[in-house]
Amino acid sequence: MRWKSSDYAGWGRVLRASGEVARPERAAAVAQATADTPSPAIGMRRSYGDACLNDGGRVIDMTRLDRVLDFDATTGEIHVEAGAMIGELLATFSPRGWLPPVMPGTGFATVGGGICMDVHGKNHHGAGSLGQHVTEITLMTGDGPRTITPKDDAPLFKATVGGLGQTGPILSARFRLLKAKGDVMVVTERRVQDWDEFLHLLDASDATYSVGWIDATARGLSLGRGILEEAETGGGLVRPAKRGRKVPMDAPGLTLSPPVVRAFNAAYWRRVPASGRTLVKPVDDFFFPLDKIHDWNRLYGKRGFHQFQCVVPLAEADRLRGILEKVANSGLASPLAVLKRTGPGRAGFLSFPMEGYTLAVDFPNRTGAERLIRDLIRMAAEAGGRIYFAKDSVASPEAVRGMYSEQGQWLDEVERIDPGAAFATDLVRRLKLRERT
């Protein structure tokens, strides 16, 4: 298999790597690479920080292994290669009345990446995480392919799902798609006045899909204002989604200056009538709104951006309010901030979700951002919460220690499968996740 030297980065474009990359098209090539030079597998690199980086080493780009191997139109069970993008599965199967069971905020995420992060979506409160729908995973080991299931190989399965790729490259997976009423979304939007109202609406919602955009610059009595979207699948005709536009260059620093962000957020909040409204949208418009802007990460300029995402227990909502207040007072937030209610569902030892509330905020990479995020991480830990490894780029080993109570069980399996740490990535090394404390 051919290896090619390459420079690459995570989606946030702050952390970068250089090394050799292979792009196999068949499982046999992955087997050869894993036997000769075991290396981490990567997908579309939609993780924001360094979870998909291996600076100075090799990585196997799995995106050419993207075939649907089997589909049962009666049960909705699909067998698909790890490099397939979740958005492509949505586009292929939603016209047939089926949706991927869990979808993150971008359709460019691959199935393999989604499993390694045990991604959650706008239906987590009801459907749980992606890994809970996976019935079978085929891993590439040094001895060849190995198929595992949550029933027969529970410890290894739980170390693989949400396990940051440390049990080896995923070749393929089986999971069951969800039956849908149609290939459009009926979306109800409500303008939310403040933090207390937002939590009340999230708690009271019985919608299958719900997500909140939050104005992370609003303070005082308006702290926590935003827009709540609740949605169900529906049938009927809807105009096609507009063709995506591409950001042609890195935006100048003033593009997301504090005055600009405050003005944009205020206008965006008011776009929804005070009485609310109901819209019919194409499925991809609802699930992947930012995907219409190709390379939108370039809007943050050549220095890139960070994202902070945490989840805290339901009982610690006041502490999460304190986190948002610190963000609002900093003047560093961008327009991209999301609030969701999460259920208890998680499938792996290092899976992110817990029953509670999750807040995600993007920050341009400018002076003060990293210091602020470290303070937010500390506040999340004090609330008994945890941060999302798929989004992190600044945490320290000390800051995340204790956030994941099953890390020891994860490490037991990882050390058994990969005793030489050949699959370690920059994130795993930075956070010392494979070191015993």
pLDDT of residue 346: 97
pLDDT of residue 87: 97
**Mean pLDDT to the nearest integer, 353-367:** 97
Nearest Cα neighbor of 30 from 22, 21, 20, 18 is: 22
Nearest Cα neighbor of 67 from 92, 94, 45, 46 is: 92
**Mean pLDDT to the nearest integer, 313-317:** 98
pLDDT beyond 70 at 152: yes
pLDDT of residue 226: 98
pLDDT beyond 60 at 127: yes
In which band, very low, low, confident or very high, does the pLDDT at 356 lie, cut at 50, 70 and 90? very high
**Mean pLDDT to the nearest integer, 166-188:** 96
pLDDT of residue 245: 77
Q: What is the pLDDT of residues 379-422, one digit of tens each?
A: 999 999 999 999 999 999 999 999 999 999 999 999 999 999 99
Is 293 in contact with 244 (CB distance < 8 Å)? yes
- How far is it, in rounded angstroms, from Cα 29 to Cα 183? 37
pLDDT of residue 253: 74
Nearest Cα neighbor of 55 from 5, 12, 117 is: 5
Is 192 in contact with 212 (CB distance < 8 Å)? yes
Whole-number mean pLDDT of the chain? 95
Nearest Cα neighbor of 390 from 312, 311, 307 is: 307
Q: How many CB atoms lie within 10 A of CB 236?
A: 10
- How far is it, in rounded angstroms, from Cα 99 to Cα 97? 7
DSSP classification of residue 33? H
pLDDT beyond 90 at 295: yes
Q: What is the pLDDT of residues 211-238, one digit of tens each?
A: 999 999 999 999 999 999 999 999 866 5
Give bridge partners of residue 139 from the DSSP assignment. 146, 170
Q: What is the pLDDT of residues 49-83, one digit of tens each?
A: 999 999 999 999 999 999 999 999 999 999 999 99
pLDDT of residue 345: 96
Six-digit token string for 405: 């109570």
| pTM to 2 decimal places | 0.96
In which band, very low, low, confident or very high, does the pLDDT at 318 lie, cut at 50, 70 and 90? very high
Q: What is the pLDDT of residues 240-268, one digit of tens each?
A: 555 567 777 788 877 889 999 999 999 99
pLDDT of residue 207: 98
**Mean pLDDT to the nearest integer, 284-288:** 96
pLDDT beyond 80 at 35: yes
pLDDT of residue 244: 67
Six-digit token string for 21: 């990359």
**Mean pLDDT to the nearest integer, 161-180:** 98
Domains of the chain: 184-395 (3.40.462.10)
Is 190 in contact with 276 (CB distance < 8 Å)? yes
Is 40 in contact with 54 (CB distance < 8 Å)? yes
**Mean pLDDT to the nearest integer, 330-339:** 96
